[in-house]
Amino acid sequence: MMNKPSVISLFCGAGGSSLGYSMSGYDELLGIDIDPTACETFHHNFPYTPVWNQDLTTVETDEVMEYTGLESGQLDLLDSSPPCQGFSICGTRDIKDQRNDLFLETVRFIEGLRPKVFLIENVTGLMKGKMRGKFNQILFQLKSTGYKVKYKSINTIYYNVPQSRQRLIFLGVREDLQSEPVFPQPNSQVKRLKDVLPQVDFHSRGQFDRLIKHPESLPYTITKSPSMFFIEDGIQRKPTIEELKILSSFPTEFEFTGSYTQVWDQIGNCVPPLMMKELGKTIKEQILNV
């Protein structure tokens, strides 16, 4: 039986990406994240996958290779979702935000581990306005590591997620491999609110004071801070945790730890698993050829 392709997740959070990779047939060797509550959720749902609750800037690539038994070049996929608040149009978009420099930590791990493929997920705000210079700098650094790099803005609604969430994906393939970076084809069958939560109308008050009142609509991005509510039988209420999970494509059996606000934060920070399942499947079948 062929071994599963290996993956390590940087900034793994509660495990949205990890769940997607598990669904598409990967063996996760390690997750790393600085948030203790998110790490508790990760450990609860992936008890056999080690997770380090550490600041990535304090982690050396040599200790990761020693712990996992990997040698340089052996890892199939390095996944990374560095904090995006400094780039997001929903935030301050401060080009000097220190969290933006955590992209450099991903570059350090690419250079140290030399994975066959890397995938970096972030917000599309990185490509816009005053952040464009930072985007070009990051792209140059990624290409300088010896990888064929492509990027694409994709919306989660086209990858089986009932939530309109635009994400920026960098995909890199090591130059000694014959494959090229390739992205999954979008699915034209979009799930709307009425398909997954038929009993409610969705309302969102965010930066642009949007107010959506129709079940044919798509919920906008679930952000780190609570910004939406539902109307059910004429009564306004917050979404339940189960409803937030559904909108982010988490299965019922996935359990989050922490308070309501902490869980909302975790879900808002997570990569939707079904989107990552499609990305992982494409990488496995069309790039790694396994």
Same domain, 147 and 278: yes
> In this structure, are strands 6-10 and 27-33 parallel, antiparallel, or unpaired?
parallel
Q: Enumerate the active-site residues.
A: 84
Same domain, 263 and 276: no
Q: Would you give the DSSP letter of residue 285?
A: I
133-175 per-position pLDDT tens digit:
889 999 999 999 999 999 999 999 999 998 888 999 999 999 9
Q: What is the mean pLDDT of the chain?
A: 86
Q: How far is it, in rounded angstroms, from Cα 166 to Cα 4?
A: 29
Q: What is the pTM of this model?
A: 0.87
Name residues whose C-beta falls within 8 Å of residue 124's C-beta, 6 or more positions apart in sequence. 153, 166, 167, 168
Same domain, 280 and 137: yes
Same domain, 161 and 253: no
Higher per-residue pLDDT: 220 or 113: 113
80-124 per-position pLDDT tens digit:
999 865 444 444 444 454 545 789 999 999 999 999 999 999 988
Same domain, 171 and 29: yes
Cα Rg of the chain (Å, integer): 19
Q: What is the DSSP string of 202-238?
A: EEE--TT------TTS--B---SS--EEEEETTEEEP
Q: How many domains does the chain have?
A: 2
Same domain, 29 and 172: yes
